[in-house]
Structure 1
């Protein structure tokens, strides 16, 4: 009798334990994606707290390691049931606010090439935000799906110590320290000056990072450290090189929409950190390091810019990479993602790239992001790494419906050389036929005229325009166009701007062709030998200037013509010297290499009547 009672008790306890185990909340996966879990989905039950993670650097002059402000949002089960979950981590310099729109914040572009910039206004940022929440971004998306969401303010912003460095080492080591803390390798504290530790006992140690623009740069910065635990990143429109952001082939060039911005302007724009530390940071970082090395006089590439190019730091990187960018992003231009994607592939890192046809920002479809993090953070074998390497949103398709390709550029794309023939001040021709002894044509610089106005003018002495025959079939281009412009200048310095456009210009937003700018590029003729060192141009002497335009993947519809426009100052992007510089182009030595899917045969077939 006693034996039977004991057996019943054991059976009851075992059954109860099984029921309780079944009741424990765990992530759920379907079709290779993390699904919302009811037990994780009540925001009132989420645990939110903040802390400071100690780094291995000191950049604000107080002889103590800088501490980064971090906030955490996690399901209650990480506290009540001992559940460990992976982390989605977002870091930013913007969370605590930015500088006001102040007159004089930007550098004046009404200057002669080579002149020293005038002093500009340095606004103060008023920090905003209350503890313990740094940001609410991504929380509602990922916490219900079985992730912990972590935010941090980057050095010298918000309640994080240190100084902004705009791509300096501390902006890579700061997120590394947070990831180290999530893996038990760094110390976190309850307060900025406390010795009471906080441990991430609820973290599996697997971390994924994402973000847009500067917030997309930081995941790449962290990944270049090779930090253990950072398994996957999804940078969206990231700035991967400050030189490529503020310069172009030796030319001082603004990011689109921010004429006159430079790296020191961005420093002032984001510096929301401790007011007491700002004078030291301003003196050492802005006024000594940035001002002394950014060189707006020549635009040359130097060690300062090289140290702020993440392509140079990629060797330790191993985090799986899903890049996202817009082909019409003229702020952080599409080359930023392409150059990193290309190098990651060469290093054998699992990599995919998503491009859309719009402007700045724009994440991949949520399903792509979900599968990427599910595979690398939860370890679910969903075979995402075996999917197509490139995903392109075709013209007029929705962003969540990209077309898959074997790779980017399209493997079937081949460079086709196009030559120019006379036509100024109207339009000359652009074709695959090379004619000799075509002579020269000249344009006169006038920065007051917008590029779109030049492209649409029937004739103009301020640009040279060369157009193909009208397309009778759609034409698919994919990759990077390269151009060689042979020119002489009547002044020692000149801007050189190139647009590749689709004509006629179409203002109808519902039309099949919605953006007439195919791609663009800029260069300093003084840097025809090297972007690291320019030389004054000699009047009457010709120089061959070779450079790449921005990457693109576009289907140009039948009925359009492809136009190559060569001009000097670009009103929206370059400095604005006084009008009058004359650039003379040697037509025999100027050519464009266009990446055409199907090569020369496809291009010539598209012109047949």
Structure 2
């Protein structure tokens, strides 16, 4: 090669280098997908360059009484390329009443539970106030670190009457559904965004594709369900984690006054006070109108009946317009927001023909699905990537010894291979009666005496007790897999016009010591008010000594009871952790001939017979 050609080739190489460099310099950030999941994009993973700002979205309601539509405080976190390159991206949205702080739980802020069933609480409770916290423009940092780098914009908003959002909290009222709807409509192009809470300067979501997904845990998981029941067009998918889908089911159980586990004496008005962090000058109006008006009139801590107040706070009643794809997540041992909350919405959404999956783990409150599941769900329904999630198994259950990141897939929940097996009671429940697969001949009724000073675990461990009746299966020679809803049908009489009625399904012998979990002992539980034996919405005093038929489901479960254990039904009256605390002495009599336990056994009667014989 002569000098001239060498020089010419170098010039060409230099030109090629410049053009390549220019192309790289002009490279635009865009989402990347692999195996059906949104991948981390280095150009998005620049937290110091993320754009963070806040605004207010106007709603269609006025719940603080000022004559103007309430506006919700909203914050946005997005990659800088949505500003510099005109990039539009989908949204993952979380809304909450908790972001601006909550009230304390000092003595007296909860209802006094030490009184007879069917009587008014003896002492009025104290109403705490919330000291608002938080600094603009950041409402929350949840979700941001994981999802912005994958090409999603993160949006947060504060619920009505909390933080810098206007309006009043209603704890399940319609405004808590319409508030996120308004935000989603703004994200989908509606001209209802403002730079200030009271001004007229508009702001648009020009960086949004209009495709929105929602997630959150507990109350934050309830609100995606609330938003979905409005049928708002932009909401494509939701991943609720341990959502409260009915405030009646949260604070009542089959007509009984029953608090969530760990919050003895909590009720809907207590939660109202706990979250009411909105503008101080609007709180008096909201307290009078919502807490001391609507709630005081409708919540009914005397009968526990289901009424219009509770029906309006039950999202199952409003599910007809729902269009969003649903990935539900819950723990089978969540005794705060119990697993029925997810089950009832999942089954209703499935019946509607919506894309659904459910992830159940064996832990307590909270616990989202594995990141991979969430990523695939949001990638499919927000980006529109055909990754096949809608063709995958519907149920993903974390087995007892497995990590939460390693669920076992099943065709559906309950397990399609499960069928109901009816068991009968054999005499001797004061010590250890029997659970039988065949019905005994006529037996004498058995009696227990209510005494709330004994906890459920104390009663289950006792070899003999006047305060509970216990009926036990033979020792399991093989493991038994339960999946679905256990049901109790009981014929009972009470010595008083009103009484608590509690049932635990337990695995015996009771395990104690290091490493033992609640699920190792308590399979599932249920509670009911015998006064509601004919109607959930109308209770009637019991005639002492008269027998009544009562039927109800226990909480959903999917658990493998290992060989060597015994399945036991424990019947008692007041449950120290969950019910009112009446004075000891109420007698509950059980007619064994009219009482049965139905278990959802994978493999049905043959599997259970094989395990116990």
- TM-score past 0.5 threshold: yes
Q: Name 2:46's counterpart in structure 1.
A: 42
Q: Name 1:5's counterpart in structure 2.
A: none
- Please tell me whether the aligned partners of residues 102 and 130 of structure 2 are also in contact (alpha carbons under 8 angstroms): yes
Which of 476, 488, 506 in structure 1 is aligned with 2:493?
488
Distance 1:490 1:112 in 2: 13
Q: Name 1:60's counterpart in structure 2.
A: 64
- Please tell me whether the aligned partners of residues 396 and 512 of structure 1 are also in contact (alpha carbons under 8 angstroms): no
Q: Name 2:270's counterpart in structure 1.
A: 265
Confirm or deny that 1:165 pairs with 2:170.
yes
Q: What are the within-5 Å matches in structure 2 for residues 577-596 of structure 1?
A: 577-596=582-601
Which residues of structure 1 form unaligned runs of 5+? 1-7
Aligned to 1:218, the other structure's residue is in SS state helix
Q: Name 1:285's counterpart in structure 2.
A: 290
Confirm or deny that 1:99 pairs with 2:103.
yes
Aligned to 1:39, the other structure's residue is in SS state coil
- Please tell me whether the aligned partners of residues 432 and 472 of structure 2 are also in contact (alpha carbons under 8 angstroms): yes
- Please tell me whether the aligned partners of residues 333 and 519 of structure 2 are also in contact (alpha carbons under 8 angstroms): no
Distance 2:402 2:391 in 1: 24
Q: Name 2:246's counterpart in structure 1.
A: 241
- Please tell me whether the aligned partners of residues 455 and 577 of structure 2 are also in contact (alpha carbons under 8 angstroms): yes
Which of 394, 397, 404 in structure 1 is aligned with 2:399?
394
Distance 2:78 2:373 in 1: 23
Aligned to 1:221, the other structure's residue is in SS state helix
Distance 2:581 2:518 in 1: 31
Deviation at 1:515, TM superposition (A): 2.2
Aligned to 2:292, the other structure's residue is in SS state helix
Aligned to 1:544, the other structure's residue is in SS state strand
Distance 2:315 2:514 in 1: 37
Aligned to 2:380, the other structure's residue is in SS state helix
Q: What are the within-5 Å matches in structure 2 for residues 305-320 of structure 1?
A: 305-320=310-325
Distance 1:453 1:186 in 2: 60
Deviation at 1:18, TM superposition (A): 8.8
Distance 1:458 1:512 in 2: 21
Q: Name 1:337's counterpart in structure 2.
A: 342
Deviation at 1:115, TM superposition (A): 1.4
Confirm or deny that 1:89 pairs with 2:93.
yes
Distance 1:134 1:569 in 2: 42
Q: Name 2:120's counterpart in structure 1.
A: 116
Deviation at 1:485, TM superposition (A): 1.1
Deviation at 1:514, TM superposition (A): 5.1
- Please tell me whether the aligned partners of residues 191 and 202 of structure 2 are also in contact (alpha carbons under 8 angstroms): no
Q: What are the within-5 Å matches in structure 2 for residues 363-512 of structure 1?
A: 363-510=368-515
Q: Name 1:183's counterpart in structure 2.
A: 188
Distance 1:169 1:537 in 2: 36
Q: Name 1:607's counterpart in structure 2.
A: 612
Aligned to 1:488, the other structure's residue is in SS state strand
Which of 72, 77, 97 in structure 1 is aligned with 2:81?
77
Q: Name 1:529's counterpart in structure 2.
A: 534
Deviation at 1:408, TM superposition (A): 0.3
Aligned to 2:43, the other structure's residue is in SS state helix
Confirm or deny that 1:25 pairs with 2:52.
no
Deviation at 1:23, TM superposition (A): 0.7
Distance 1:30 1:190 in 2: 38
Aligned to 2:178, the other structure's residue is in SS state helix
Deviation at 1:509, TM superposition (A): 4.5
Confirm or deny that 1:148 pairs with 2:189.
no
Deviation at 1:452, TM superposition (A): 0.2
Q: Name 1:557's counterpart in structure 2.
A: 562
Aligned to 1:376, the other structure's residue is in SS state helix
Considering only aligned residues, what root-mean-square deviation do their CA atoms show, in Å? Answer: 1.6
Distance 1:347 1:22 in 2: 47
Deviation at 1:186, TM superposition (A): 4.0
Task: Please give the per-residue CA displacement for 1:360-402, whole angstroms capped at 9, x wherever unaligned.
Answer: 0000010000000000001111001111000000001000000
Q: Which moved more, 1:188-197 or 1:547-556?
A: 188-197
Distance 1:514 1:223 in 2: 32
Deviation at 1:114, TM superposition (A): 1.5
Deviation at 1:507, TM superposition (A): 1.4
Task: Please give the per-residue CA displacement for 1:449-468, whole angstroms capped at 9, x wherever unaligned.
Answer: 10000000000000000000
Aligned to 1:215, the other structure's residue is in SS state helix
Aligned to 2:260, the other structure's residue is in SS state coil
Which of 359, 362, 367 in structure 2 is aligned with 1:357?
362
Which of 119, 122, 131 in structure 2 is aligned with 1:126?
131
Distance 1:325 1:142 in 2: 22
Cα gap change, 1:411 to 1:221, in 2 (>3 Å): same
Which residues of structure 2 form unaligned runs of 5+? 1-11
Task: Please give the per-residue CA displacement for 1:414-433, whole angstroms capped at 9, x wherever unaligned.
Answer: 00000001114201000111
Distance 1:556 1:539 in 2: 38
Aligned to 1:23, the other structure's residue is in SS state coil
- Please tell me whether the aligned partners of residues 362 and 519 of structure 2 are also in contact (alpha carbons under 8 angstroms): no
Cα gap change, 1:17 to 1:232, in 2 (>3 Å): farther
Deviation at 1:187, TM superposition (A): 1.1
- Please tell me whether the aligned partners of residues 160 and 176 of structure 2 are also in contact (alpha carbons under 8 angstroms): yes
Distance 2:389 2:231 in 1: 22
Distance 2:275 2:519 in 1: 34
Task: Please give the per-residue CA displacement for 1:522-577, whole angstroms capped at 9, x wherever unaligned.
Answer: 00000000110011100121001100000000000000000000000000000001
- Please tell me whether the aligned partners of residues 245 and 341 of structure 2 are also in contact (alpha carbons under 8 angstroms): yes
Distance 2:87 2:39 in 1: 17
Aligned to 2:546, the other structure's residue is in SS state coil
TM-score scaled to structure 1, two decimals?
Answer: 0.96
Deviation at 1:508, TM superposition (A): 3.6
